[in-house]
Structure 1
Amino acid sequence: MRHAVLFAFLLLLGKSACAAVAPEIDPHVPLGVVQQWIYNYRAKPDYAHVPAAVRVLFHSQTFKEPDNAGIYLGFIAGAIGSNAAKSEQLVDSFFPMPPEDEWVIVRAVAYSGLPDWRNLLRRIAPKMPGRRVMIDSYLNGTLPTLAEIPLEEQKPGMLDRMRSALTRNPFAKDDKKLDTKLTFASSQDLLDTLWGYYFATGSHVPIMRIVQMLPWSKSRDTVDKLTVGSMARYTLASYAVRDGSLREFLRSELPHQSEEVRGPLSEVIQAADTVQLGAVRRDAVAAVEELKTRGSDARRNLDFWGQVGVGAVALGCVSAAALGQVAVGVPCVIGGATSQGLLSFWERQQQ
Structure 2
Amino acid sequence: MRCVAVFLAVLTFIQPVFAAAPAQEIDPRASLGVVQQWIYNYRAKPDYAHIPAAVRVLFHAQTFKEPENAGIYLGFIAGALASNPAKAEALVNSFFPVPAEDEWVIVRAIAFSGLPDWRNLLRRVAPKMPGRQVMIDAYLAGSLPTLTDIPLEEKQPGAMDKVKAVFTKNPFAKEDKKLKMSQTFAGNQDLLDTLWGYYFATGSFRPILRIMAMLPWSKSRDTVDKLTVGSMARYTLASYAVRDSALREYLRSELKVQPEPVKVPLTEVVEAADTVQLGAVRKDALAAVDELKAKGSDSRRNLDFWGQVGVGAVALGCVSAAALGAVAIGIPCVIGGSAGQGLLSFWEKNQQ
Q: TM-score, normalised by structure 1?
A: 0.86
**Aligned residue identity for 2:164:** R
Given the alignment of the two structures, is residue 120 of structure 1 paired with residue 121 of structure 2, yes or no? yes
**Please, which of 318, 339, 349 is the counterpart of residue 318 of structure 2?**
339
Residues 187-336 of structure 1: matches in 2 within 5 Å? 187-308=188-309, 310=311, 314-315=313-314, 318-319=315-316
Post-superposition offset of 1:310: 4.5
Counterpart for residue 37 of structure 1: 38
* Residues 140-164 of structure 1: CA deviation (Å, up to 9, x unaligned): 0000000000000100011101111
- Unmatched segments (≥5 aa) in structure 1: 13-24, 320-337
Alpha-carbon distance, 1:309 to partner: 5.2
Structure 1 segment 32-71 matched on structure 2, within 5 A: 32-71=33-72
The 2-side partners of 1:38 and 1:234 are apart by: 20
**Cα deviations across residues 125-148 of structure 1 (Å, max 9, x unaligned)?**
000000000000000000000000
Paired letter, 1:49: H
Task: Structure 2: state its 5+ residue gaps.
Answer: 1-19, 331-352
Deviating beyond 6 angstroms after TM superposition, the runs of 4 or more aligned structure 1 residues are none
Alpha-carbon distance between aligned partners in 1 of 2:169 and 2:146, rounded to the nearest angstrom: 33
Contact 2:21 2:37 in 1 (8 A): no
Q: Which amino acid aligns with 1:181?
A: S
Whole-Å separation in 1 of the counterparts to 2:95 and 2:230: 34
Q: Distance in 1 between matches of 2:67 and 2:116?
A: 26
CA 239–3 in structure 1, closer or farther in 2 if over 3 Å, else same:
closer
Rounded Cα–Cα distance in structure 1 between residues aligned with 2:162 and 2:326: 45
TM-score normalised by the chain length of structure 2: 0.86
Displacement, 1:300?
1.4
* Amino acid in the other structure paired with 1:242: R
Cα shift at 1:166: 1.3
- Deviation for aligned residue 1:307: 2.5
Shift of 1:97: 1.1
- Give the distance between the partners of 2:318 and 2:191, measured in 1 at CA: 12
Q: What SS does structure 2 have at the residue aligned with 1:42?
A: coil
Partner letter of residue 100 of structure 1? E
Partner secondary structure for residue 95 of structure 2: coil
Total equivalences in the alignment? 311
Structure 2: how far apart are the matches of 1:293 and 1:310? 17
Partner of residue 129, structure 1 = 130
**Structure of higher RCO (CA pairs closer than 8 Å, 6+ residues apart):** 2
User: Contact 2:295–2:302 (CA<8 Å) still a contact in 1?
Assistant: no
Q: Distance in 1 between matches of 2:134 and 2:120?
A: 16
Please state if 1:154 is matched with 2:155: yes
Counterpart residue number, 2:328: 349
Q: CA RMSD in A?
A: 1.6
Q: In structure 1, how many angstroms separate the alpha carbons of the residues matched to 2:261 and 2:21?
A: 43
Q: CA offsets, 1:205-229, max 9 Å, x none? A: 0000000000000000001000000
Opposite residue 61 of structure 2, the aligned amino acid is S
Question: C-alpha distance in 1, partners of 2:39/2:310?
Answer: 37
